[in-house]
Structure 1
Amino acid sequence: MTSRCILQTALLVYFCTTVLAMNYDLLQFQLSSSSVECQELLLQLNGTSKGCLKDRMNFKIPEEIKKSQQFQKEDIIWITLEMFGKTSDIFRRNLSSTGWNETIVEDLLATLHRQKEHLEGIMEEGNFTWDHRTLLHLKRYYLRIVQYLKAKKYSTCAWTIVQAEILRGFFFLDKLTGYLLN
């Protein structure tokens, strides 16, 4: 009787971890696809970098994001959610001086919103909580970007620099979501 109970428990644990692993594989694929889509849309915005080198700034992406292998899978979901949300917030700001194609910006915002809602659903289902300094560092990073835009009065060059920085952030996000497979 006891051995049958142990066998059933072992099988249950095996199937639960297999299902969870498959869900992370699917999530990794979805996040990677969305990240690539966002990068392609950002590249289509065609920022003009001529004469903008003087406006460059190091926004200091958090070091822990650069060294992403230290995170648990739930942490990666939190970080991705935060990055999508803050990027969306930035691109909802005063874009009038950019001359960017509004349809591309709307597509970018729609992609970010869709993934943000998906991740929020996962977080609610899994009842994840995360209290870590990385989230605070990430919020400060995006705050520096917003403060930079305001200080530069949302100029074309400032937006070009921000566009490049957001693309850089998506590079790190790609690395980060790759760890969902491990």
Structure 2
Amino acid sequence: MINRCILQIALLLCFSTTALSMSYNSLQIQLWHGSLTCAKLLLQLNGTTEDCLNERINFKVPKEIKEPQQLQKEDTTLVIFEMLNNIFDIFRKNFSSTGWNETLVENLLGETHLQIHHLKSKINKKVTLESIRMNLRLKSYYWRIMDYLETKQYSNCAWKIVQLEIFRNFSFIIMLIDYL
């Protein structure tokens, strides 16, 4: 009787580990495809940056974005989630001065929102001091981007610089997804 219970528990653990692994694989595929779609949409937003290059600034990307090998899977999903949420918030701002196709921006917002939805169930609810610090560094980074847009009064050049920075974000997101 006890052996049967032990066998059932062992099988349950094996299946739950396999299911969790398959769940992360599925999430990885969904996020990877969505991030590539977002990056392509960003490239489709017209405009050149040659006349705006003198306005570029270093927004100081947090190390968590550039060095995913230091993160656990749960923390990686949190970083991606926070990045997508902030990107979504940025592109909901006043971009009327850009002349961008509103449908492309709406598609970008829709794809970003879909990725956020996929990540919600995978976010680690356990709050640690390190996850709080990481979240604060990410929020500070995106605050600098928003502050730049506001300081430049949402000018066409400011949006082009931010567009490049967000495109760079999606390359980091793809790197983080590969780490999953």
Same fold by TM (over 0.5)?
yes
Identity %: 54
Tell me the alpha carbon deviations over residues 50-82 of structure 1, each in whole angstroms, 9 at most, x when there is no partner: 211110011011012111012222212211111
Aligned twin of 2:174:
174
Give the SS at the match of 1:52.
helix
Matching of residue 90 in structure 1 with residue 87 in structure 2:
no
Partner of 1:99: 99
In structure 1, the partner of 2:69 is 69
Length-normalised TM-score, structure 1? 0.92
Counterpart for residue 145 of structure 1: 145
Q: In the TM superposition, what is the alpha-carbon distance from 1:5 to its structure 2 partner?
A: 2.4
Q: Distance in 1 between matches of 2:127 and 2:175?
A: 20
- Alignment of 1:129 onto 2:136: no
RMSD (CA atoms): 1.4
> Counterpart of 2:25?
25
Contact 1:65 1:172 in 2 (8 A): yes
Aligned position for 1:37: 37
Counting matched residue pairs gives 177
Instruction: For residues 72-102 of structure 1, give each alpha carbon's deviation from its aligned partner in whole angstroms, at most 9, with x where no partner exists.
Output: 2221221111111110110111111101111
C-alpha distance in 1 between matches for 2:14 and 2:70: 25
Change (3 A) 1:122 1:68: closer
Offset from partner CA, 1:87-144 (integer Å, 9 cap, x none): 0110111111101111100100111112212322444xxx623341111111100000
Aligned partners of 2:108, 2:172: CA distance in 1, in Å?
18
Structure 1 stretches lacking a partner, 5+ long: none
Aligned partners of 2:127, 2:37: CA distance in 1, in Å? 27
Taking the aligned partners of 2:125 and 2:73, their CA distance within structure 1 comes to 11
CA contact (8 A) 2:64 2:79 kept: no
Looking at structure 1, the residues matched to 103 and 76 of structure 2 have their Cα atoms a distance apart, in angstroms, of 30
Instruction: Provide the secondary structure at the position in 1 that maps to 2:51.
Output: coil
Q: Is the 8 A contact 2:27 2:118 kept in 1?
A: no
Counterpart contact for 1:74–1:128, Cα < 8 Å: no
Q: Following the alignment from structure 1 to structure 2, what is the Cα–Cα distance between the partners of residues 36 and 46?
A: 18
- Deviates most, 127-136 or 86-95: 127-136
State the alpha-carbon separation in 2 of the partners of residues 109 and 89 from structure 1: 9
Runs of 4+ deviating beyond 4 Å: none
Distance 2:114 2:174 in 1: 17
Point out where structure 2 has 5 or more consecutive residues left out of the alignment. none
- The answer to whether structure 1 residue 3 and structure 2 residue 8 are counterparts is no
Task: Give the stretch that moved more between structures: 41-50 or 18-27.
Answer: 41-50
